[in-house]
């Protein structure tokens, strides 16, 4: 297959900056987690940045996305505010979800981010519902579900592929195939491949190098345009690399030393940097972009540290409904 042509330097530099924002934000979150400033678990997408950025390059503001437990990159690529993300992960009251969601449940409906999800495959039916809403409203928008190859064995994926195909929904299934299902190679827990599943449901699919930002963006442009024009769902499988463990703190003892040593040889950001240099972008320009992003990330950390903690009593609002006594419920029924 002929590789897609590189975009103009300005466009590619924008994609580079978006990937670098995700990388530097997650590296900072990694340090904050190690220092105890980020509660709970975090799952980093370091090494996979080309997938969310390349897909998001084809999306419009009204398009929607749903993510998984490794969702920081998806959120930032869709336009989630960096300050709000750090405040949320650090448990602050001014976070995107008032500090209630944390790393695995980041959501911001104002930019079409339907939410990350700690349950494997659970973002798929949410995206399916959003795609149906787009179709019913005839608003020209598409819905994108990001999921890993570890979700291939989940029945909900098969159900969503079936319904999306039956109803010709404007939905894009994006499989981030990093070869791992938590601590096991994917082939040990799933026999079928996503391209075979797509074919079984008569859905067009494409497999791309998920560490090549240009290839991902080109595939996304074609797939999103088809879904947006009423041709039904599409599947894009992105072959990528999980550099960090399943969760932060995972020592990855189950991976061979030589594999771990070679993880950075296919870095999507470095590959993009080389392409930019070949297009004539000066190293000083790339350094300036990195410096600016590092400063933005650090400002987000400082702002989150200065933000107030959630009020415990108010944290119950919109989360729990206070129980009523059986007597009051019976009286209400009698009065009705």
For 95-107, what is the mean pLDDT? Answer: 87
Residue 103 is predicted with a pLDDT of 82
Residue 238 is predicted with a pLDDT of 94
User: CA–CA distance from 175 to each of 86, 121, 124, 235, 305 (Å)?
Assistant: 26, 11, 11, 8, 35
> Measured at the alpha carbon of residue 175, what is the angle toward residues 174 and 181, in degrees to the nearest 5?
150
CB 125 within 8 A of CB 160: yes
Structure confidence at residue 248 as a pLDDT band (50, 70, 90): low
Q: How many CA atoms lie within 13 A of 85 on its CB side?
A: 29
For 170-185, what is the mean pLDDT? Answer: 78
For 145-152, what is the mean pLDDT? Answer: 88
For the segment 307-324, what is each residue's pLDDT rounded down to a tens digit?
Answer: 998 887 777 776 677 777
User: CA–CA distance from 169 to each of 132, 137, 164, 235 (Å)?
Assistant: 6, 12, 5, 12
* Buried b or exposed e, range 36-54, using 16+ CB within 10 angstroms: ebbeebbbbbbbbbbbbbb
Residue 101 has which token pair?
């969601």
For residue 148, the surrounding DSSP H or E stretch is strand 143-148
Residue 42 and residue 45: Cα distance in Å, rounded? 10
Residue 182 is predicted with a pLDDT of 56
For the segment 216-246, what is each residue's pLDDT rounded down to a tens digit?
Answer: 999 999 999 999 999 999 999 999 887 666 6
Structure confidence at residue 100 as a pLDDT band (50, 70, 90): confident
pLDDT over threshold 70, residue 329: no
Q: Give residue 327's Cα distance to chain centre.
A: 47
Higher-scoring residue by pLDDT: 327, 129: 129
Residue 133 has which token pair?
């809403």
pLDDT over threshold 80, residue 145: yes
**DSSP one-letter code for 317:** T
Residue 157 and residue 122: Cα distance in Å, rounded? 9
Q: Is 212 helix (H, G, I), strand (E, B) or coil?
A: coil
Residue 150 and residue 136: Cα distance in Å, rounded? 31
Q: Does residue 252 come out as left (phi exceeding 0), alpha (psi in the -120 to 50 range) or beta? A: left
Higher-scoring residue by pLDDT: 215, 183: 215
Residue 176 is predicted with a pLDDT of 93
CATH number assigned to the domain with residue range 9-314, chosen from the 4 options 3.40.630.10, 3.40.50.970, 1.20.140.10, 3.30.420.40: 3.40.50.970
Q: Is 223 helix (H, G, I), strand (E, B) or coil?
A: helix
Higher-scoring residue by pLDDT: 168, 244: 168
């Amino acid at each position: 297959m002929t590789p897609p042509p590189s975009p103009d330097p300005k466009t590619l530099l924008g994609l580079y900056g978006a990937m670098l924002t995700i990388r530097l934000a997650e590296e900072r979150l990694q340090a904050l987690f190690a220092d105890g400033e980020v509660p709970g678990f975090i799952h980093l997408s370091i090494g996979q940045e080309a997938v969310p950025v390349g897909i998001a390059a084809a999306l419009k503001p009204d398009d929607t996305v749903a993510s998984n437990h490794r969702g920081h990159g998806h959120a930032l690529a869709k336009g989630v505010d960096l300050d709000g993300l750090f405040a949320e992960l650090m448990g602050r009251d001014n976070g995107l979800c008032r500090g209630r969601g944390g790393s695995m449940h980041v959501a911001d409906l104002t930019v079409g981010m339907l939410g990350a999800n700690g349950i494997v495959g659970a973002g798929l039916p949410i995206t399916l519902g959003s795609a149906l809403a787009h179709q019913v409203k005839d608003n020209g928008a598409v819905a994108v579900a990001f999921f890993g190859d570890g979700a291939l064995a989940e029945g909900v994926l098969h159900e969503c592929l079936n319904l999306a195909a039956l109803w010709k929904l404007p939905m894009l299934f994006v499989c981030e195939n990093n070869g791992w299902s938590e601590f096991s190679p994917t082939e040990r827990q799933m026999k079928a491949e996503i391209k075979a599943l797509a074919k079984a449901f008569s859905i067009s699919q494409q497999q791309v190098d998920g560490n090549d930002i240009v290839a991902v963006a080109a595939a996304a442009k074609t797939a999103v345009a088809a879904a947006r024009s009423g041709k039904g769902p599409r599947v894009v499988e992105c072959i990528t690399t999980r550099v960090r463990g399943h969760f932060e703190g995972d020592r990855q003892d189950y991976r061979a030393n030589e594999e771990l040593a070679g993880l950075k040889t296919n870095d999507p950001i470095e590959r993009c940097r080389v392409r930019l240099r070949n297009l004539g972008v000066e190293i000083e320009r790339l350094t300036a972009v990195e410096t600016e992003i590092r400063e933005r990330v650090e400002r987000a950390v400082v702002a989150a540290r200065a933000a107030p903690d959630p009020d415990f009593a108010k944290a119950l609002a919109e989360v729990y409904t206070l129980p009523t006594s059986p007597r009051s419920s019976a009286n209400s029924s009698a009065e009705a």
